[in-house]
Amino acid sequence: MKNSDNNNDFKLIANVIMGDRPEPFFPFCLESIKEAVDLVVLNDNSGNPGNPNLEYVKNSDLFKEGKIDLLTSDFEKAGGFAGVRNICLDRVQELISEGKYSNDNLWILYLDCDEVHPPNFRKFVKNFLAKLPEDVGIVDGYMYQFILTFDYYTTLERRHNLFFRFHKDIRWERPVHETLVNLKGTRIATDYTYPHYGYLLPPEDLMNRWKLYEKYDGLDFDLEKVKKEDMLLDKSELCIPYSGEHPPCLSDYIAKFREHPFELNRAFIEKTEALRKSPMKVIENLMRDVNYQIRLKFRRIQAAKYGRLP
């Protein structure tokens, strides 16, 4: 088992896709990864030359430094989520063929526009990921799921394939809820955590995403149901007070959000606080929180044999 401790060939390329639905967390997403990635391969699959999210991209430090490779495609023609993600992988292969990158110790970061990484992201990448032995090919992390509030989280979900070593046969499959196939190497899970803010949007904006799921999965989403019934409000039963810190780049955004909450956000907080008056509900969610933290400690012990975690 050869270790990559002194391997200067390590490169990390983020692959991310972007539509034209509102992505208010995308500028913070790009800010949070800028010191750790060598390149962002970004596929704007909106089919809209005036995509308003492009302003976030062009104002980012990564773009100004020439570290964003901006592609365009049509979501429908590409075949859904798997298709537009495969365009990113194809571009990485092109860069290798052009001699700009090497297959040796080249990793991909699986990234979404509504994920913002914490300050220790660079240390994790440079001090742990870059030094993994060659037999390790996939690294999983965990993401805190926030729904309608920054003050509580609902679940701590394992992010499979957060990082994976690139090779030419890796592909995404399925037009929605896409999955990676042909990965190689040992999979390890770490205690690396980061927040996902995809459900901190007004329901009108969330509908743009859900309409895609409706088309490919045959699901039936109704906006009034989303606003008034159980599709989001019932998640308040899962709320656990968040004791961690949000990425510093979000501090002004969070302050403004709390100062000017939208209607469903207020309703969600009210229901959450009402439920927390039930001792049984508090105990139930406390036990879930304890279970999550034990899981992270276990993953840290498991991953420690591969190197020093930040």
User: For the segment 277-287, what is each residue's pLDDT rounded down to a tens digit?
Assistant: 999 999 999 99
CA–CA separation, 257 and 279 (whole Å): 29
CA–CA separation, 144 and 164 (whole Å): 21
Q: Is the pLDDT of residue 231 over 50?
A: yes
| Total count of residues recorded for the chain | 310
pLDDT for the residue numbered 217? 59
pLDDT for the residue numbered 1? 44
Query: Residue 147 in 3-state DSSP?
Result: strand
pLDDT for the residue numbered 263? 84
**Amino acid symbol at 199:** Y
Please check whether residue 26 is in contact with residue 113, taking contact to mean a CB–CB distance below 8 angstroms.
Answer: yes
pLDDT for the residue numbered 87? 98
CA–CA separation, 59 and 247 (whole Å): 19
Percent of the chain whose pLDDT exceeds 70: 89
Average pLDDT estimate for 250-254: 97
In this structure, of 27-36, 41-50, 135-144, 213-222, the range with the lowest mean pLDDT score is 213-222
Task: State the residue for tokens 């088992």.
Answer: 1
Give 40's strand partners.
Answer: 14, 68
3-state helix, strand, coil in the chain (%, to 5): 45, 25, 35
Residue 246 in tokens: 């949000």
CA–CA separation, 91 and 97 (whole Å): 10
With CA atoms as reference, report the closest residue to 303 among 184, 182, 163.
163
Please check whether residue 45 is in contact with residue 233, taking contact to mean a CB–CB distance below 8 angstroms.
Answer: no
pLDDT digits (tens, 9 = 90+) for 138-197: 999 999 999 999 999 999 999 999 999 999 999 999 888 889 999 999 999 999 999 999
Task: State the residue for tokens 């400690």.
Answer: 297
Q: Is the pLDDT of residue 63 over 90?
A: yes
pLDDT for the residue numbered 284? 95
Q: Is the pLDDT of residue 296 over 60?
A: yes
Q: Would you place residue 8 in the very low, low, confident or very high pLDDT band (cuts 50, 70, 90)?
A: low
